Structure 1
């Protein structure tokens, strides 16, 4: 099998940090520039780990980047719960830390913003806060990245927090372990760790949130006004935190974008241990000690991956498990028993999300294909389906099929999430993001077609976080309009209000059985009723989702 090398060698890393050689023919505009540290007069900031000094951004924002929140999970701490970290003196926090071990990104995809170093020593967080320290604590937004639990990094600029800070909140993001390094269980690990193993990535998330609770006041934040927001695998992480007793009291509200799901089946500890044994067998190592000593790239090379240009048919590792500690049971059982952290949630999805390709209706292009899909999905009920979801021609069939895929996918999941919230006496706010990015003419990517991609999976993230301009940082890919900027400002304000007040604002009503509605973020902003009649029919006639087809160029973060 071809090995995927992800660790920068010392010489490559040194070269990447050296200034470019300047020649007599270079003009000042041709010379690459590296942001220098801009000292903050009030630094250092004292934290429970040690003192840190950050950097100013445009005079408006204080940024503290690459702060270790746990000891490096290396050596004997590979596959162990995160441990405390401390340092002497003042630590400069002016650049993000390396991403956790994962495959690297091709340069011709939508989400390439420059190379990042990658390492097992990766448990760092980043804080952006307004320059003026307020007398009262500010609301705090904590972002958790997605990536199918095998990729993702808090250092990606589209996950940055300067814009949220400029609008009056403290913003935090952090790295957590992914893939085999973050979620592998093993019988020897279970014996070593008191009857449980795996979920190290979730333990990292909880440890980061505990660090935030202990220290965020020093950065102007209110530890009692923390909202967490996760996208894709980050959303599933948020759902896991909602059901984890270890995360109790660490946040007051939660947003899940793509998608809100309290009913996904997680592997049991025994199933996850069997996967860990398969990893050991594939690596031909005879002990846990040997597994902890082998190079990280050997483990990465046998891990299944179909994102970022990788196509490795290895062992699928990644994602939460029922380990008996972080997660005591499957979510439906925990919900029924009331074993859940009771917080309000936002359940968010995109119109052209990944629920489209996993639906039997996701690839319909003609009227005949639409009718065939109806017969396959619903059998004797196909005629009733076609009366409720009619189509007269190929174009109408294609549009209706995509609508069916989304309604039966993330839209139905958002509604079920709202119902689940109601069962524990907590509100839910539903939204659908439908704005198509305004691409620059002739733009091409290896992993998406701007002409057809629509409001794609992750397309909402730069609006929630105000990072629109990052998409033009290396080349012009979007022609953002004043409306895009206003839409982003509105979505950021809703998110900040959710942290500050526990609801996203009076103009965004909560879902209720008597008023089933969602807020629509598209070419306009409106509160719209849910398509209750069609949702009810689809809920009563569940379809089997198809496995997400391998799309070698397509990341899920």
Structure 2
């Protein structure tokens, strides 16, 4: 009798254990240099969230290069998104950027973490790795922004990793005192040093997630794309990646000032904060520092951003250099400026005519022929077309220069599809609007009325990006052909009608911009 009871009880316990297996099987583990991680799984993809790649840059480590992350005992849970780096937040979004585009979680100086999504079944899978560097003018953004969830993209057969890096005054303040205490005689660019540290950590630990450390692609949009180009330029990133993606980034035209200029701004910040030394600055609270920063002239925009620091960029010649020559997939949206310029769509014919005359000098009549502005309606259409074409011309000139000193391919695109949602007709294919299509995160915004056409475009864009990460060629079976950018100046336009090859610009338009540059003019995306 007792034997029978024991058997029944044993069967019941076994049945309970079997029932518990699916939940237990959702937890995957990975062993990295610092210890063991417990992630979480959903379907075919496992996520390891909030993984430290460096020590917290707080207290005495504020405004210092990142230090190695500490080891831990036991198993560290990696199932929760980490804090975002310090910044002002607008959790409901702004302009065309609805809530899924912005930081919605807590912010902290303790933010040097990354998120990993992997479809690998074993550590021996050797899948290619995509490292995502978020945008946000070097002052905002996060690896935890909802549209950067890597689950859907990873499900296509790659490891996706999104990284944080210090922002604003925490990531890019230079100061004579910091320069003096640095063994390298450098200051500023701590955010870029964070990116380098993250890449070194990823190269050392990618295999733990089934990734191949020999096949790492860096990718980013806007400031993230600028970061991609900075990583290509800096000697510190040598050997850390093999391919790159720069969305809204090539031909960007951002200024990288000399360290002395940045040090002067850091000195002004110290004065505004009422501190007498770097040690005192390190003892101030984030609220005190940020309040002081708001009093500085020109506190918005790129107030604290990359500089020629003497370390990441040893000299001005390093900025924009092709030090780490690598294949690049790059492009832009058709309406980059609609959300970035508050006056967009409000121009008058007289204003546009005056701007063309003052900007293009002797070539202004030719520009007016291509971009007429006889009425206010026509003037606003001209502003839109001119902004798009300037960006494309800047990308063409960048590609031309890059190809002079590189054998590696360039593939270029124009994204022209309007994301549905609030004021879609106003914002159109706005800055960063292709990102949720790349990541397959259309579901992050239930209020946007995505349809079957959007989902088809998302599948198409994701396939192109994943093919690039896997093979260095976006083309693949069943996809419209994407030509390599060469002397034929062909790009691919991805829009309402799918993907089609086209010239980067009509010949007469590109010729006009070429003459403008040869006369001493400057064109850039922004």
Q: Cα RMSD over matched residues?
A: 2.8
- Judge conservation of contact 2:55–2:68 (CA < 8 Å) in 1: yes
Does residue 1:480 correspond to 2:450, yes or no? yes
Q: Sort the Cα spacing of 1:97 and 1:39 in 2 relative to 1 into closer, same or farther, 3 A.
A: farther
- Judge conservation of contact 2:468–2:474 (CA < 8 Å) in 1: yes
Give the Å deviation of 1:38.
5.5
Equivalent position to 1:540, from 492, 515, 519:
515
Equivalent position to 1:160, from 145, 149, 153:
149
- Name the SS of the counterpart of 1:191 in structure 2: helix
Equivalent position to 2:313, from 307, 327, 341:
327
Does residue 1:78 correspond to 2:62, yes or no? yes
Does residue 1:530 correspond to 2:504, yes or no? yes
Equivalent position to 1:173, from 144, 162, 169:
162
C-alpha separation in 2, matches of 1:340 and 1:489: 34
C-alpha separation in 1, matches of 2:109 and 2:482: 42
Give the Å deviation of 1:329.
2.5
List runs of 5+ in structure 2 lacking aligned partners: 1-21
- Judge conservation of contact 2:337–2:344 (CA < 8 Å) in 1: no
What aligned pairs does 1:51-70 form with structure 2 within 5 A after superposition? 51-57=36-42, 59-70=43-54
C-alpha separation in 2, matches of 1:42 and 1:469: 24
- Judge conservation of contact 2:394–2:523 (CA < 8 Å) in 1: no
What aligned pairs does 1:58-457 form with structure 2 within 5 A after superposition? 59-85=43-69, 86-107=71-92, 109=94, 110-113=97-100, 115-130=104-119, 132-133=121-122, 136-194=125-183, 195-261=185-251, 264-304=254-294, 313=299, 317-330=303-316, 335=321, 340-354=323-337, 365-390=347-372, 394-408=376-390, 410-425=391-406, 426-439=408-421, 443=422, 449-457=423-431
C-alpha separation in 2, matches of 1:313 and 1:205: 24
Q: Sort the Cα spacing of 1:479 and 1:544 in 2 relative to 1 into closer, same or farther, 3 A.
A: same
C-alpha separation in 1, matches of 2:525 and 2:486: 32
Q: Sort the Cα spacing of 1:362 and 1:382 in 2 relative to 1 into closer, same or farther, 3 A.
A: farther
C-alpha separation in 2, matches of 1:186 and 1:65: 34
- Judge conservation of contact 1:179–1:303 (CA < 8 Å) in 2: no
- Name the SS of the counterpart of 2:443 in structure 1: helix
Does residue 1:520 correspond to 2:493, yes or no? yes
Describe the superposition over 1:147-188 as per-residue Cα deviations: whole angstroms up to 9, x where unpaired.
111111111111110011111111000110000000111111
- Judge conservation of contact 1:348–1:430 (CA < 8 Å) in 2: yes
The higher radius of gyration belongs to 2
- Judge conservation of contact 2:37–2:76 (CA < 8 Å) in 1: yes
- Judge conservation of contact 2:234–2:318 (CA < 8 Å) in 1: no
Give the Å deviation of 1:393.
5.1
Q: Which residue of 2 aligns with 1:509?
A: 483
Give aligned pairs, total. 489
TM-score (norm 2): 0.86
List runs of 5+ in structure 1 lacking aligned partners: 1-36, 444-448, 549-557
Q: Sort the Cα spacing of 1:252 and 1:159 in 2 relative to 1 into closer, same or farther, 3 A.
A: same
C-alpha separation in 2, matches of 1:381 and 1:275: 38
Q: Which has the higher contact order (CA 8 A, sep 6+)?
A: 1
C-alpha separation in 1, matches of 2:46 and 2:428: 35
- Judge conservation of contact 2:81–2:144 (CA < 8 Å) in 1: yes
Point out the more displaced range, 282-291 or 387-396.
387-396
C-alpha separation in 1, matches of 2:514 and 2:316: 21
Q: Sort the Cα spacing of 1:261 and 1:331 in 2 relative to 1 into closer, same or farther, 3 A.
A: farther
C-alpha separation in 2, matches of 1:147 and 1:427: 28
C-alpha separation in 1, matches of 2:35 and 2:202: 14
Give the Å deviation of 1:55.
0.3
- Judge conservation of contact 2:27–2:39 (CA < 8 Å) in 1: no
Give the Å deviation of 1:374.
2.5
- Name the SS of the counterpart of 2:459 in structure 1: helix
Q: Which residue of 1 aligns with 2:31?
A: 46
Describe the superposition over 1:42-101 as per-residue Cα deviations: whole angstroms up to 9, x where unpaired.
7431101211010011x2210000001000001110001111112121100001110111
C-alpha separation in 1, matches of 2:368 and 2:208: 59
Point out the more displaced range, 383-392 or 503-512.
383-392
Give the Å deviation of 1:413.
2.2
Q: Sort the Cα spacing of 1:68 and 1:179 in 2 relative to 1 into closer, same or farther, 3 A.
A: same
